[in-house]
Amino acid sequence: MAVRGVLGLFENVDTAVAGVDAVNEMGFGRSDFEVLSNCPFPEGAFGEEQEMHRLGLWPVVGAACGFATGLLITGATQMAYPLVTGGKPLFSIPPMIIIMYEGTLLAAVLFTVIGVLFESRLPRLGSSLYDTRITAGYIGILLHSPEEQAEAVAAAMRRAGAEDAILEPLRQTNPGRVRQQPQEGASA
């Protein structure tokens, strides 16, 4: 089943909420559309339920991985190259702490950056449907609907107060290149 994007542009929050209600009445769930705006709105402003964010887990996992890696590097180095000096213990803890600390912080920061990108769903590799009026203050509702219902969804958004409803252009399927057999007896 082919999916086609429909972008409804609304001038204010009230008409955008009416657009979300119209989309919900057509049987589409919250996972089928996203609300695009140039400024943040409070959670639930468009009738969506609050999502569970896991951003706080990313730095904790990164810190644990960095600490374990720092411990493994320093411990493995001291085991691989045992230098017993003056009867001191093989594992010298103070220098290990520095490497483990640096590994913990580095991995926590890297995992945090990766977590922000992941939780923000960046980069968006899906639909390229966008209108620059969204950056000027309009609110966009981007819906991914079956191709058969795309026109009906656009009409419902217009009835709900959309200034414009843009349909994603149909993608032409490439049937592939058919290799032609050279004709016998013909020369160029």
Q: Is residue 159 over pLDDT 50?
A: yes
Burial 45-59 (b: 16+ CB within 10 A, else e): ebeeeeeeeeeeebb
- Residue 49 falls inside a structural domain: no
pLDDT higher at 5 or 181: 5
User: Looking at the domain assignment, is residue 182 inside a domain?
Assistant: no
Q: What is the pLDDT of residues 82-121, one digit of tens each?
A: 888 888 888 888 989 999 999 999 999 999 999 998 887 7
User: pLDDT digits over 18-53, tens only?
Assistant: 999 999 899 988 878 888 888 888 777 776 666 778
Answer yes or no: is 126 within a domain: no
Asked whether residue 69 is assigned to any structural domain, the reply reads yes
The answer to whether residue 91 sits within a structural domain is yes
Identify the three-state secondary structure at position 87: coil
106 with 80: CB under 8 angstroms?
A: no
Domain range for 77: 57-119
Together in a domain, 66 and 114? yes
pLDDT at 174 over 50: no
Number of domains within the chain: 2
What are the CA-CA distances from residue 188 to residues 16, 177, 178, 180, 183 (Å)? 64, 22, 21, 15, 11
Instruction: State how far the Cα of 29 lies from the Cα of 38, in Å rounded to an integer.
Output: 23
Together in a domain, 66 and 113 = yes
CATH label of the domain that carries residue 154: 3.30.70.120
Residue 104 within a domain:
yes
Q: Which two tokens stand for residue 121?
A: 């769903």
DSSP 8-state secondary structure symbol assigned to residue 60: H
Query: Is the full-model pTM beyond 0.75?
Result: no
